[in-house]
Amino acid sequence: SFFADDSHMNLFSTRPQQKKKRKSRTAFTNHQIFGLEKRFLYQKYLSPVDRDEIAASLGLTGAQVITWFQNRRAKLKRDIEELKKDVESVKMMSGHSASFLENLNELNILKK
């Protein structure tokens, strides 16, 4: 058929489109992660100067530092949301526990 294997062709072009190769995932060393985490503790957003300084000191590119900080902020946001859910669960559970104890008390089960 006409469309059999034209997935690599553009409708208006006769030459195949160049497929962009994705850059492989960066494997950070423990030293790099420690340096990035240490900075993240007190600075969630970096100026270009700070970013370049960290990148140079850890042997990373500016783009790697930008991406790491973006991902770390996203993780922090997820972790905070998870904690909020946990706190709500504990509040609900403690509410149930309190009413359960009140019910037991009314039934004279806890009285000696």
The full 3-state SS of 2-39, as one line of letters, equals CCCCCCCECCCCCCECCCCCCCCCCCCCHHHHHHHHHH
Average pLDDT of span 19-30: 89
Higher-scoring residue by pLDDT: 54, 8: 54
Look over the chain and give the mean of its residue pLDDT values, rounded to a whole number: 84
Q: Does the structure show a pLDDT above 90 at 57?
A: yes
**Contact 80/74 with Cβ under 8 angstroms?**
no
Average pLDDT of span 82-101: 77
**C-alpha to C-alpha distance for 96 and 100, rounded to whole angstroms:** 6
CATH number of 30-109: 1.10.10.60
Q: Does the structure show a pLDDT above 90 at 41?
A: yes
**C-alpha to C-alpha distance for 61 and 63, rounded to whole angstroms:** 5
**C-alpha to C-alpha distance for 73 and 79, rounded to whole angstroms:** 10
Q: What pLDDT is attached to residue 98?
A: 66
Q: What pLDDT is attached to residue 103?
A: 74
**C-alpha to C-alpha distance for 37 and 54, rounded to whole angstroms:** 11
